[in-house]
Chains A and B, each alone.
Chain A
Amino acid sequence: MSDLLELHRIVKTFGGLSALGDVSFSVREGEILGIIGPNGAGKTTLFHVITAMLPPTQGEVLLGGERIDRLSPHAIARRGVSRTFQNLRLFSTMTAAENVMVGRHCRSRAGVWRSVLRTRGQREEERGILGKTRELLGLVGMGGIDAEQPAGSLPYGHQRRLEIARAMASGPRILLLDEPAAGMNESETQEMSLLIRRIRSLGVTILLIEHDMSLVMKTCDRLVVFNFGRKITEGPPEKVRDDPRVIEAYLGASEGDGNA
């Protein structure tokens, strides 16, 4: 398998504070790669850097061998990198369907005049957008009545899945999921794991930040572990789980004093 997304020596500082220090790793085409680590380890900052919402202080981000770290976020979405947010960022007063349709923006073209004149090409394109929207709402299990509800009024779990549908609408090669199972119960988490694997089976590579270890262990092919803005290790889930550095990262802070 070839590398789809490569991070080369990424450094991100805020003033004097280092959020990411010299981070390098690759995401292989077609895998589900999990990013784990304690709170404040820099996982979400890493997502912001990959999607250019925060420019890296140093280092390079490559997609399919091409640098993308100088592009604007919308251009990166167009190249095929799509994301969800840790704290949901849906367009809350739009309907669920409209949210997904917005996500289709960069794969459609009708401008002002064609939109106002309703040319045949524009109508066909709108039909295509609607079709894709229905397909994606179906994929995340939100067909039917939900589609016409304002996104903000949907149950929390549905909002999480709707955000994934919106991210999928841009036709990504790689999908970045920031804690998709946060706040979910066990059966919802189970469903989320199934959904993530189904999306992978559609040919989309997945980069996943998650705290729920049962989800991570079951879903991911490989894990990258962060602590204090640095990668401490990477490898298959079962190996990472038993790595003493990982255990220390998670438990060291609270139990360290007693053992020392």
Chain B
Amino acid sequence: MGPEWINPYHLQVASFAFINVILGVSIYVTLATGQLSLGNAGFMGIGAYAAALLSTRYGCPIPAGIVLGGLFAGIAGILVGIPSLRLSGVYLAIATLGSGEVLRAVLVNWESLTGGAVGIAAIPQMGRVLLSRAREAGFAPESIGLRNNQFIGISVFLILFVCAFLAVLFFLRLGRTRVGRAYAAIKLDEKAAEAAGIPVTYYKVLAFSQGAMLAGFAGALYAHTTSFVSPSDFTYHRAVEILVFAVFGGSEHLLGPVFGAAFLTMLPEALRSVSDYRDILYGILLVLTMVFRPQGVLDPPLLRGFARFRRKGKA
């Protein structure tokens, strides 16, 4: 039963791609002010654990838990950001990486709250919750020719698509306004920005906490997608993975990390047929990017080129 081309596994890969897109936006936002934060894996962990605990222990509705997960991570971002932002460059990267690891250590050791290294299981999965709600309301997926797992896959896919789309839209819009100009000015020349009347510290903390909040938001969505979280989901491997989205996709434009996140999440699936060489090909691809496009695949001149090409096509 159900159209065979709707493959729940593919939907799940695409869903993770959307979560990673949000993580890509999260590292971009802090990079937009010229700061490299490697703490986003930790903030993702805060969001994921907050959402998981709120729903499993306190019966908090999933959407509220997701929003709160993002907010908690954002607050943690402010607290980590204010002292860390006295640093810059590699020192900031190391400090944020360290604070991410500290957060993970807290998750491992605060066993009474977090379940320690085992993590938290049986977190309500949003697709399944939606399915049972739909059934309560008298709607059966079979009536539109879908199997249960197809319905679950599609609903998670759509929810995450909307979330990722809104995150990208939010920051695309912000980029072309007064706040976005302030970010760009700080990235290009902090002293000149300050002299031009921009409160640099305020905007740096703002961008840092926005990045943390987005990462927490992605983490909360992740918790309700996988229904299981443990500290090992939020190690520095994750931090580096997020960094690679920006390095590969490009960090000069928001669409760079977005493309990087989507592409690099799907790539392993595309390489399934040569699965023995998958990691080698992945590595070669990254090295080739460094050599031939050190600024990343997408950069503003390339995007302007696309825009011109499209205008010509229309004319």
Contacts and interface: CB of A to CB of B under 8 A. Distances in A.
Nearest to A171: B197
B50 interface: no
Interface in B146-189: 170, 173-174, 177-182, 184-185, 188-189
A110 interface: yes
B196 interface: yes
Given A74-B197, A116-B174, A118-B173, A89 B192 contact: yes
Interface stretch (A4-12, A93-101, A245-253): A93-101
A153 interface: no
Interface stretch (B198-206, B225-233, B281-289): B198-206
Interface string B208-220: 0010000000000
B194 interface: yes
Interface in B253-312: none
A105 B182 contact: yes
A136 B179 CA distance: 21
Interface residues of A, number: 39
Contact of A89 (B177, B180, B191): B191
Given A112-B206, A115-B178, A83 B193 contact: no
Nearest to A112: B179
A110 B184 contact: no
A85 interface: yes
B271 to A, nearest CB: 36
B177 A103 contact: no
B179 A51 contact: no
Contacts of B181: 94, 98, 101-102, 105
Contact of A91 (B170, B177, B180, B189): B189
Nearest to A51: B195
Contacts of A77: 195-197
A115 B199 contact: no
A21 B253 CA distance: 48
A111 interface: yes
A24 interface: no
Contacts of A98: 181, 184
B199 A72 contact: yes
B305 to A, nearest CB: 16
Contact of A102 (B174, B185, B200, B210): B185
B173 A115 contact: yes
Contact of A105 (B174, B191, B198): B198
Given A93-B188, A94-B184, A115 B177 contact: yes
Q: Tell me which of B174, B179, B189 has the highest count of chain A C-beta atoms within 10 A of its own C-beta.
A: B179
Interface in A108-122: 108, 110-112, 115-116, 118, 122
A126 B191 CA distance: 24
A77 B184 CA distance: 19
A10 B15 CA distance: 62
Contacts of A107: 197
Contacts of A154: none
Contact of B195 (A73, A116, A125, A129): A73
B189 A105 contact: no
A103 B178 contact: no
Nearest to B171: A116
A29 to B, nearest CB: 21
B194 A74 contact: yes
B64 to A, nearest CB: 20
Interface string A181-196: 0000000000000000
Given A83-B195, A91-B185, A105-B197, A116 B173 contact: yes
Contacts of B185: 91, 94, 102, 105
Given A73-B194, A89-B192, A106-B198, 13 more contacts: A74-B197, A74-B199, A78-B197, A89-B189, A89-B191, A94-B188, A101-B178, A102-B182, A102-B185, A107-B197, A110-B177, A115-B179, A115-B180
6 contacts: A89-B189, A90-B192, A91-B184, A102-B193, A102-B198, A116-B173
Interface of A: 51, 53, 72-75, 77-78, 82-83, 85, 89-94, 98, 101-103, 105-108, 110-112, 115-116, 118, 122, 125-126, 129, 166-167, 169-170
